[in-house]
Each structure stands twice: as C-alpha cells, then as structure tokens.
Amino acid sequence: MNFIKTNLKYITVYGLAFIILYVVVWPMWSGGGLALFSFETIKDKEARSVTATNDFNNAETLKQKAEAMQKAYNSLDPSATTTINQAVPVDHDTPRLINDLSDLISKASNGSEESARMSQTRFDKYDPNREIKGSSGTFQIAFSVKGSYSTIKEAVKMLETNRRIFNITQLSLQPKDSYLELSITMNAFYLKDGDAKSGSAGAGAGSLLNSPVMKEISLLAGQNVDFNIIKSNIEKLNKMSYNPVFVPAQGSAIRPNPFINKQ
C-alpha cells in the first residue's frame, strides 16, 4: 500500500497511457487489444476506402468511355439505325419477313410473262447449333418458288442482296412441267437479347459499381464498342448490290436457260 501511495502519480500516468493505447487506440486501429464495442476499425475503413477509390476511378473511366460512345453514336447518320435494324432486326419479325419475301418474289417476276409463286414457307425454331459464333440469333427459312428460269435467277439475286440479310445454304432447281421449281433453304438473322448483354462486367462482386447503369456501362466497356466497325458495316449494307464473282468472258456463248434442250 505504501508503494502505491508513494508511486500513485506514476501509476496513474502510465496506467492512463496504457488504457488509452490498449482500450482505445489499438482496437480502433486494427481491432486488437481490448475492444469494448464493436466498430469499424481503421484497417476496415482503409480497405473500404481502397475499394471506393478503385470504383471511383473505374466510374470516371467508364463515364468518359460512355460519353465518347454517346458522342460517336450521335455522329452516326440518322438513317443508320433504320438500316441496321432492317438488316438484323431485334427480333424474328417473321410476319414482316414472309410479306417481304412474297413481295420480293413478285418483283422478281416483273417484266416476265408469267408470275412467280412462292409456296411452302417453313420457319424452323431457333436452333442454338445453327448459331453463328458469338453474334446473332439464326433461324432457318425454307420455301419453294415456281417460275421461269429468268424469274428464278432474278429472285436468287434479290435474296442475296436483300436489306434484311439472308444466307442461302441450300438451293435446288428442277424443271417441272413448263416451269422450274426452286427450293431454297436459307438462314435469317436477328439480334438475340442475350447478344447485346454479352461482355465482361467491370465491377466485381460486392463492388460499389452495382447500380444498373454502371453495370450497363461495364458491359459496354467489355464489348469493345468500335464505331469505326459499326460505320463500316452500315456502309457495306448501303453499298450492297448484285456483284457477280464469276463473269463470263465477253463474246462467249450464253445459254439463256441451260435447263431446257437447246436443240
């Protein structure tokens, strides 16, 4: 007791210092020592701050990218969206497709004596196995056309260069009575909803960038949006025209219809 009395001031000073360090400073810093309350330590706050700083920087970068993309989008020709929507619509749009095909066949027979007729249009269900890698939804159309050789040739040309793009995969031509019958199988394309969502998200789990719009930008950033390619593809669509790879030599004899006997 005498020792305490004699050294009370030392015990008080050192004791207070110890208590402050052990019960206040250390627990606040890293959760060590004697924590009387549960609270966020400085280490936790630093970790949260690092995440927030990274997210803040990412958000700034994404904002700049989004602004640049919006600027580039605004600089597109106003008809660009219509053009590309006609080529690759955002859904199957089969009623319009059938109507357009029917019109196309009618146009092909313009000027000829007989009128071509389209029959047996068949739409296969979307088959993932027929999907073109990483891009669009694909579905198959099969139909037959009866008409003269010139009409059928014109119809095939028009299908090749149609604004809504078709990829002819099978073609069969056979004389039937006084006409030719053409059977065509071709792929048509549309933008699957999932296609536009593909890409890698920039925000990690538990990130502060989980707001829908920031996720959207992260997805866009992962898609490598290149407006030069977009412009180039739209230009190709606008320039799409009949362009034969094989051109017979000038002056060479031409059989107007090699499916009927010349002699």
Partner 1 sequence: MPTFVPSNVYEERTKKVLPSDLVLNIGIIILVISILSAGGVYAYGRYLDNKTDQQIASIDSNAAYLSKLNLKAIRTINGQSQALSDIFNSHAYPSNIFNLLESRTNDQVTWNKMDMTKKDTGTTILNLSGSASSNGVIVQQVDALKSATDIVKAVTLIKSGMNDQSLNIDFDLEVQLNPTISASSITK
Residue 217 φ then ψ, to 5°: -70, -40
Toward partner 1, which CB reaches closer, 81 or 119? 81
Site string for partner 1, 15-54 (x = CB under 8 A): -xx--xx--xx--xx----------x-x--xx-xx--xx-
The answer to whether the CB of 180 falls within 8 A of the CB of 125 is: no
Site string for partner 1, 140-179 (x = CB under 8 A): -------------x--xx--x----x-xxxxxxxxx----
Q: Which run of H or of E encompasses 81?
A: helix 80-87
Helix (H, G, I), strand (E, B) or coil at 31: coil
Q: Is residue 128 part of the contact set for partner 1 (CB under 8 A)?
A: no
Place of tokens 């009623």: 95
Give the helix ranges, DSSP H, for the chain: 2-19, 26-30, 42-74, 80-87, 94-108, 149-160, 193-197, 212-222, 227-239
The DSSP-derived string for 136-152 is: -EEEEEEEEEEE-HHHH
Among 8, 32, 34, 73, binds partner 1 (CB under 8 A): 73
Residue 213 φ then ψ, to 5°: -70, -40
> Closest separation between CB of residue 27 and partner 1, Å?
10
Among 95, 111, 113, 242, binds partner 1 (CB under 8 A): 242
Stretch that binds partner 1, among 100-108, 116-124, 139-147, 205-213 (CB under 8 A): 205-213
> What count of Cα atoms within 13 Å lies in the side-chain half-sphere of residue 73?
8
Toward partner 1, which CB reaches closer, 21 or 114? 21
Q: Which run of H or of E encompasses 236?
A: helix 227-239
> Closest separation between CB of residue 240 and partner 1, Å?
5
- By CB under 8 A, the count of residues binding partner 1 is 103
> Closest separation between CB of residue 160 and partner 1, Å?
5
Q: Is residue 68 part of the contact set for partner 1 (CB under 8 A)?
A: no
